[in-house]
Chains A and B, each alone.
Chain A
Amino acid sequence: MSPEQLPARIRRWLYTTNHKEIGILYLITSLFFFVAAGVLALTMRSQLSVPDNHLLSADLFNQFVTVHGLLMVFWVLSPFAFGFANYIIPLQIGARDLAFPRLNAMSYWFYLVSGAAMMMSFFFGGAPDLGWTLYSPQTSFKFTPTIGLNLGAAGLILIVVSITMSSVNFLVTMFKMRAPGMKLKHMPVFPWAILITIFMMLYAFPSFLAALLLLYVDRAFGTFYFSSIQGGALLWDNVFWFFGHPEVYIVLFPAIGVIADAISTFTRRPLYGSKYIIGSMIAAAIISFIVWGHHMFVTGIGLTSTKLYTVTTIAVSLPFDVMVIAMIETLVKARVRLKAAALFTLGAVALFVIGGITGVYLASVALDHALRGTYFVVAHFHYIMVGASIMGLIGGLYYWFPKMTGRMYNEGLAKIHFIFSFIGFNILYFPMFLLLDMPRRIATYAPSTGWAALNLMSTVGGFIFGLAQILLFVNLFASLRRGSISGPNPWEAWTLEWSLPSPPPAHDFDTIPAIAEDGTYHFGNSSGYPNGSGYPNGSKMGNGTVHSHLEGQSPWPVVVAFAAFIFFLGITIGQPSNPSVPVTFQPFWPLVLDGAILGVIALYGYSRERFSVHEETNVESWPFREVPNVKLGIWTFLGAEVIFFGVLIGAYFFVRTNSATWPAVGSLFEVRSGFAMTLVLLTSSLTAIMALVSAKVGSRNGLMASLFATFGLGVAFLYIKATEWISLGANGVFSVANGLPATSYFITTGVHGVHVFAGMLMTLYLLVNALKGRYLKGDYHAIEHFGLYWHFVDIVWVFLFPLFYLI
């Protein structure tokens, strides 16, 4: 490789917006985090292999437990699945890319830097050490004064941003960019699983983001959401598990999608009851949002609540029964081709059954009291998260490896990998079911406990399972160069991706395929590509346009993510000047400013860049045929924002209703001030809509005046708000760290203020462009999209005004 080639290669991967390359980046990065989390796990197992062991200190053990859990849940399971989703779903639904390719690239880079932040937390006073649930009040400054937790929280915030961007992107893609004839009912199970997962993500992750924000401000500014009796542990439990239980299905469903498609392929049968599988996933997704209380049986949430959550928790197991029965029915009397991909997916089903059944025990209040916090629970959720999810996804890796690389993997080695993984897994986790009196998250134990033999067995199983994964990497790495040519469809599968050469060309389809009325696609009528030759560097679209991997590149997604990383690093890594003061917000200003400036430049560059997305016509887009992609994306994003603000307002209600006293109306906030701010924002909504009217009729002066007025009113709103804050602070009794009324007021209105500020930056950008004569007549969409956001910010204030000023 010559030096001239190196920058081009690096640039290709840094700047890529191609869904397949981003998918590969996701897969490689998630496997890296898989190894990192695995090393932490094996070190923990070594520590627990014998009693009274001192390989790790208790503190380091806790850090390993926590970071292992966080990495697996956030940086391995979902990103592993979304690596496939990125690569495969556009191919399966007949699209050339995702709806917003640059946003897709930005999602990946946010994912990468978020993981870096989490890993770096080890080097800043110690990583988070409270378990992946980050229970309050251990997260308070009093019990965890290290800034490593702040950095870990920043990593989590960044990955939630990444996930939200991904969710919007996939949702628009799957609704709006399906090949002609590819009705929703014709989509394979894997895209359906991802679609349902995305819905869950859109509801669950904003809740988690709000919880993290409150946690961060508690630690950084000394507020009291989670360190007060009125909020405290129960508030965290509610907002965390509202997200946390759906998260289990968020990491599981993509694997079920992989398993379902693979089983269908390797049995050469249509999946039995595929509609019921999809329906069951939808039912489970909905019910999953009303089961979170079963994680709180021992918190004293009350008998009525525990009854309710027992019923819903048992109910959520029923749809999974349907899924498993449908898969088993598909296998009955089938001539299954036991390739490694099939073995992993079938193994995943078996392990899922064990994990699922043991979960039903935990729905019982009585059993939950006995088993809560023991290794029984650890075994249960690892059978789900590793047994079903990871094994299923590894099956997916073997299944789609030939499609991605054009090469076959070594089948024999892969089968050995499966045998050792399956046996190692069960030796690792089954003994934990028997350790039902051993508390989880303890660094060591006494010989007299009688836990030594089972722990040793578990550790041996852990090493078998862990070392078996080396076979995976060796096999895939070696097969990249030496594997036999796979051809387009080595498994004789039926889904659309297998109609393309392996690897598929940069633009995926020469011509967008048409799906028959019965949902089938007739292979062989397609492209006529040479068998398995692939087009790694470029190819021609049907209209003769040359399309290469080097086209459609953008430097800005990686720069935006890097700027966000620098910014968050700056606000988290400064050491507290006085450890006795419960405030860790000591920003390292040079980094904060660098990040902010770089971010502004990058966003400006992003918005100015001429990046065209080829949109197909005549695609299947029910039920949003008449809704433009961007508008659907913005509405979806606003839906996530509703949940985010809903949780912030919910937290306010929570602490307020739990407080014996609350300042009377008018005693702290002047109603006049709130009234003035409300009028200002309502007027700004009017000017924003008038800007759209002016743009549509082509009135440049009207557009300029309206935008200018909107900007001015935004300034006025923030000015009144700032005056109010300063006034409240000046009297000394009302600072951000001075009681729950102050905490909830400053944080909720502060977050809203940030939204107003962001809207003002958008207005400024629109003003600059409007000066150049843009947005008139048919070019008004940017004004309309800005308006959707600005009116939403107005709506939020419409609720904040009575909540904080009038009641």
Chain B
Amino acid sequence: MNTTYLYLLVFAILVGSTDIEVNIVALYPSAPSNGVMLFGTIALSYGVIVSILLGLAGMKALLIALFYQHLKYEPKSLSSWVLIGLVMASLLMSLVFIQLHVH
């Protein structure tokens, strides 16, 4: 695929997922802790909504890193380097939250 088209496609996905994020929130009732009803039938808790939103953010970040920062095309050593760093950073941050939760 022509790289310009690829970049435009990634951009479209990024904008589209941002639109999804905003629309999910638009379905909120007044108090977010009540969760949200999707399509009138599927009840999603606040925790699930947060997970979806952060999951979408993670997906967008991954797309930017892979295609705009070219990690997909870099040597495996570099992409692994970044991946290992991110995994370790995430694990460490998770530990903080686990401790917070336990506390």
Contacts and interface: CB of A to CB of B under 8 A. Distances in A.
B41 interface: no
A801 B57 contact: yes
Interface in A680-700: 682-683, 685-686, 688-690, 693
A238 B93 CA distance: 11
Interface string A223-248: 00000000000100010001000000
A627 B97 contact: no
Interface in A617-640: 623-627, 631-632, 635, 639
A421 B88 CA distance: 41
A675 interface: yes
B102 to A, nearest CB: 5
A791 B64 contact: yes
A317 interface: no
Interface in B48-66: 49-50, 53-54, 56-57, 60-61, 64-65
A164 to B, nearest CB: 14
A678 B85 contact: no
Given A290-B95, A654-B100, A689-B68, A682 B14 contact: yes
A726 interface: no
Given A795-B64, A807-B50, A643 B89 contact: yes
B64 A685 contact: yes
Nearest to A799: B57
A679 B77 CA distance: 32
A569 B16 CA distance: 46
A639 B80 CA distance: 13
A452 B86 CA distance: 52
A635 B65 contact: no
Nearest to B67: A689
9 contacts: A653-B100, A665-B25, A682-B14, A686-B8, A693-B3, A791-B65, A795-B60, A795-B61, A801-B18
Nearest to A207: B92
Nearest to A667: B30
B78 A646 contact: no
A802 B7 contact: no
A123 to B, nearest CB: 38
Interface stretch (A113-121, A188-196, A301-309): A301-309
A788 interface: yes
Interface in A686-745: 686, 688-690, 693
A635 B64 contact: no
Nearest to B69: A791
B87 to A, nearest CB: 11
A664 B30 contact: yes
Contact of B103 (A302, A650, A671, A807): A302
A802 B53 contact: yes
Interface in B1-36: 3-4, 7-8, 11, 14-15, 18, 21-22, 24-26, 28, 30-32
Given A242-B92, A792-B69, A806-B53, A305 B103 contact: yes
4 pairs of A and B residues whose beta carbons are closest in the complex: A623-B77, A802-B53, A795-B61, A626-B75
A798 B4 contact: no
Contact of B31 (A301, A639, A664, A801): A664
Nearest to B65: A795
A293 interface: yes
B61 A798 contact: yes
A242 B7 contact: no
A203 B88 contact: yes
Given A791-B69, A798-B64, A807-B32, A627 B7 contact: no
B93 A802 contact: no
A203 B32 contact: no
Say which size band chain A's interface belongs to: 35 or more
Interface residues of B, number: 50
A129 interface: no
A238 B50 contact: no
A802 B20 CA distance: 11
B83 to A, nearest CB: 11
Contact of B102 (A242, A301, A805): A301
A497 interface: no
Contacts of B37: none
A792 B82 CA distance: 12
A218 interface: no
A398 interface: no
Contacts of B39: none
B7 A693 contact: yes
A675 B18 contact: yes
Nearest to A672: B22
A289 interface: yes
A686 B100 CA distance: 38
Nearest to A682: B14
A693 B49 CA distance: 37
A289 B103 CA distance: 19
Contacts of A635: 78, 81-82
Contacts of A203: 88-89, 92
Contacts of B49: 807
A666 B29 CA distance: 11
A467 interface: no
Contacts of B38: none
Contact of A799 (B61, B85, B95, B99): B61
B5 to A, nearest CB: 11
B18 A293 contact: no
A690 B4 CA distance: 8
Contacts of A654: 96, 100
Contacts of A792: 69
A689 B7 contact: yes
Contacts of B65: 791, 795
Contacts of B28: 665-666
B22 to A, nearest CB: 5
A591 interface: no
Contact of B96 (A238, A302, A686, A688): A238
Contacts of B60: 795, 798
A686 B11 contact: yes
B89 A642 contact: yes
B49 to A, nearest CB: 7
B22 A671 contact: yes
A657 interface: yes
Contacts of B77: 623-627
A21 interface: no
A624 B77 CA distance: 6
Contacts of B25: 665-666, 671, 805-807
Contacts of A639: 82, 85, 89
Contact of A642 (B56, B69, B85): B85
